Amino acid sequence: MLTLMQPPEIYEDAESLGTMIASLMHLIELKSTNLFLHSHQVANYAVSVAAKMRLPREEIERIRHAAMLHDLGQITVPNAILAKMPYLSTRELSVYKNHCNAGSNMLENIACCQELIPYIRYHHERWDGKGYPKRLKGVNIPLGARIIAVADHYDRFINPCTQNWAKTKPEAVRELLSLSGMDLDPEVVRAFIDALG
């Protein structure tokens, strides 16, 4: 039977995955140095949370790789729209929101990236089911995507290389707590705050 899926052994080739991620990160850096730095920060936070939640090492690595590429689809969003964030028209917001699908679609035919796709596609889903692109709710959102969502929110609040930077660490933690149970998984938020120390 002819299939586009590759045999499981191909997913274990860490060298090709590392090479692929390095190439894709270079594309992100060409788009925006700030987006590149944000991607690294989100990956660092996501790994800390996954470790705090005592996830298996292989899953932590998967989450790290997906977190690095979570905003890959933003390379398809025009710079004029990214520069206006968060003040977008309805049409511009629609273009921006498509970055989750665009990023995961870019990886569809790359065998070593298959396990990363759900984490990238669903990192803007919300715990209460009001996110995008599929309006998944609660535990229907893959755990890796929920972890990346918390790390992404925090980094946007605290990191000077992101457009929303305006909060101190305690303010950003309070913001996460206020989003817990609505936008974000409460268990992941608790683990994130514990990991921050």
Q: Which segments of the chain have a pLDDT < 50?
A: 1-2, 10-12
What CA–CA distances, in Å, run from 75 to 31, 57, 177? 6, 30, 31
Residues 122, 117: Cα–Cα separation, whole Å = 9
Q: Can you give the pLDDT at residue 179?
A: 93
28, 82 contact by CB (below 8 A): no
| Single pTM value for the model | 0.88
Q: Can you give the pLDDT at residue 156?
A: 85
What CA–CA distances, in Å, run from 165 to 22, 105, 124, 125? 27, 29, 19, 22
Q: Can you give the pLDDT at residue 105?
A: 95
Q: How many CB atoms lie within 10 A of CB 166?
A: 12
Q: Can you give the pLDDT at residue 21?
A: 93
Q: What is the widest separation between alpha-carbon atoms in the chain?
A: 56
